[in-house]
Amino acid sequence: MQKILIKNIKGLVQAGEDIPLIRKGKDMQELPIVKNAFLYLEDNEVIAYGKMDDWKEIGSSSDIEIIDAEGCFVLPAFCDSHTHTVFSKTREEEFVDRIHGMSYEEIALKGGGILNSAAKLAEMTEEELFNSAQERIQKMIACGTGAIEIKSGYGLSVAAELKMLRVIKKLKATNKIEIKATFLGAHAFPLAYKENHRGYIDLIIKELLPLIAKEELAEYIDVFCEKNYFSVDEMAEIISAGKEYGLIPKVHVNQFTILGGVKKAVEMGALSVDHLEEIDQEDILALQNSNCMPTFLPGCSHFLGIPFGAARKIMAADLPLALASDFNPGSAPNYNLFTIWSLACIKMKMTPEEALNALTINSAYAMGLQGTHGKICLGSKAPIILTKAIPSLAYLPYSFGEVNVSRVFI
Ligand code: NIG
Ligand code: FE
């Protein structure tokens, strides 16, 4: 058995036996920190933690690896509840097109964007896709990510969507961290179906969903509800078909346009509504008294130069919110959640504590891991981050671009 004692921890963050499943509104400012603490793990299960004064009770045995964490913080690993980690090639040519003045929409309309990624993915084998995603996941873990949701949606055909989802299933089986799979066949209309939406929606509902259910390839169903993509009615039809197969909705809404998708998704029991660069009072009303987690993706706002989510407005309405990377080759080629933490503080005016709640317990909720992930408590086996020696917790989002991780326990 592997026994690890981390002692002299400057701050043990989000640790306790009564950490709530989510924090919302004003409570997002709350973040428990045990100062001068210890944490004792057996095979990465939390067996004991507390003030340094109490650590002697464990005794000192020669087979314990003792880590002196003087000046360091220990925190629960981040949960990344929205990613597109399985993809083919990167798309820096579109990045350059945008510098020259083209918009994301214009690039997509000339065949770039999601369709560009789908064309490239069609040429890749399952093995190539798996290997590249596996490499990305190891980098994500090294940056402190301890649970990842991954979407399909760069397939857009029966064969290629299944290929993506099978890759995600294999990633689940070969990684120790929790990985959740989301079916996003409704990410864009393939060229052949541009004028035949009915045909593609039928393909999703009649051909893909039964196969996905049979092979148990997904937990969630997603739709990109947006102008030039899927309408609110189309989203509703696809979500309701997905629900028949036990898939829980988690959707892309309000990235560029408010179409009324938030209200519809909430009514249909969405676990989360993601993006929300645009949001109005009606959306906020729909979210109040619901169990749906609004999720912001500041990496996408930053990369595309579109508005950042109105986090303060959401919290002022006594709502919770989660933060995620949206890691993908088109709108957010960044998986480092320390960067997301910084952007949330700098651009969305969230305090370091609020943003960390959004990256831990609230994002755990947004991927069905509430209660087990995003916190440190007795019996937990969820991943944990040991930082480098740093002056304060706020230094982590302050030192933007730096990854102050010394070790991740998985
Ligand atoms: O979440 N907006 C839809 N999907 C992705 C971007 C997809 C792409 O450009 O490849 C997103 O931003
Ligand atoms: Fe996305």
Q: What's residue 89's pLDDT? A: 94
Distance 74 CA to ligand 1 centre (A): 33
Same domain, 32 and 130: no
Q: Where does residue 58 fall: left (phi above 0), alpha (psi -120 to 50 degrees), or beta otherwise?
A: alpha
Same domain, 176 and 286: yes
Q: Which residue has the tokens 């049979």?
A: 214
Report which bound ligand comes closest to the CA of 330.
1
- Closest residue to atom 5 of ligand 1, CA basis: 331
Mean pLDDT of all residues in 75-90: 98
Same domain, 138 and 60: no
Same domain, 231 and 279: yes
Closest ligand 1 atom number to CA of residue 226: 2
Same domain, 313 and 405: no
Are 64 and 2 in contact, with CB atoms under 8 Å apart? no
User: Which residue ranges have their beta carbon within 6 Å of ligand 1?
Assistant: 113-114, 117, 224, 252, 255, 300, 326, 328-332
- Closest residue to atom 6 of ligand 1, CA basis: 331
Same domain, 291 and 381: no
Instruction: Give the per-residue SS3 of 195-238.
Output: CCHHHHHHHHHHHHHHHHHHCCCCCEEEEEECCCCECHHHHHHH
Same domain, 70 and 87: no
Neighbours of 1 (CB within 10 A): 6
Q: How many domains would you assign to the chain?
A: 2
Same domain, 30 and 115: no
In the structure, ligand 2 is a single-atom ion and the residues with CB under 5 Å from it are 326
Q: Cα 349 to chain center, whole Å?
A: 20
Distance 84 CA to ligand 2 centre (A): 6
For residue 67, pLDDT over 90 is answered with: yes
Kindly report the average pLDDT of the chain as a whole number.
97
Distance 354 CA to ligand 2 centre (A): 22
Please name which of 83, 108, 24, 95 lies closest in space to residue 274, comparing C-alpha atoms.
83
For residue 60, pLDDT over 80 is answered with: no
Mean pLDDT of all residues in 233-238: 98
Question: How confident is the model over 308-343, as pLDDT tens digits?
Answer: 999 999 999 999 999 999 999 999 999 999 999 999
Question: How confident is the model over 265-281, as pLDDT tens digits?
Answer: 999 999 999 999 999 99
Same domain, 71 and 161: no
Mean pLDDT of all residues in 368-386: 97
Distance 185 CA to ligand 2 centre (A): 13
For residue 289, pLDDT over 90 is answered with: no
Which residue among 252, 277, 303 has the greatest number of ligand 1 atoms within 8 angstroms of its CB, and so is best to mutate?
252
For residue 349, pLDDT over 90 is answered with: yes
For residue 378, pLDDT over 90 is answered with: yes
Same domain, 247 and 205: yes
Same domain, 193 and 222: yes
Report which bound ligand comes closest to the CA of 229.
1
Query: Among the listed ranges 58-67, 153-162, 260-269, 306-315, which one has the minimum average pLDDT value?
Result: 58-67
Closest ligand 1 atom number to CA of residue 117: 10
Same domain, 39 and 85: no
At 43, which CATH number? 2.30.40.10
Question: How confident is the model over 41-50, as pLDDT tens digits?
Answer: 999 999 999 9
Which residue among 84, 102, 250, 251 has the greatest number of ligand 1 atoms within 8 angstroms of its CB, and so is best to mutate?
84
Closest ligand 1 atom number to CA of residue 300: 12
**∠ at Cα 125 (136, 140), nearest 5°?**
5
Q: Cα 190 to chain center, whole Å?
A: 26
**Segments forming the whole domain that contains residue 206:** 78-365
Q: Cα 307 to chain center, whole Å?
A: 19
Q: What's residue 50's pLDDT? A: 97
Q: Name the band, by pLDDT with cuts 50, 70 and 90, for residue 55.
A: confident
Distance 387 CA to ligand 1 centre (A): 31
Helix axis angle, 337-348 to 352-359, nearest 10°:
140
Q: What's residue 61's pLDDT? A: 74
At 169, which CATH number? 3.20.20.140
Report which bound ligand comes closest to the CA of 224.
1
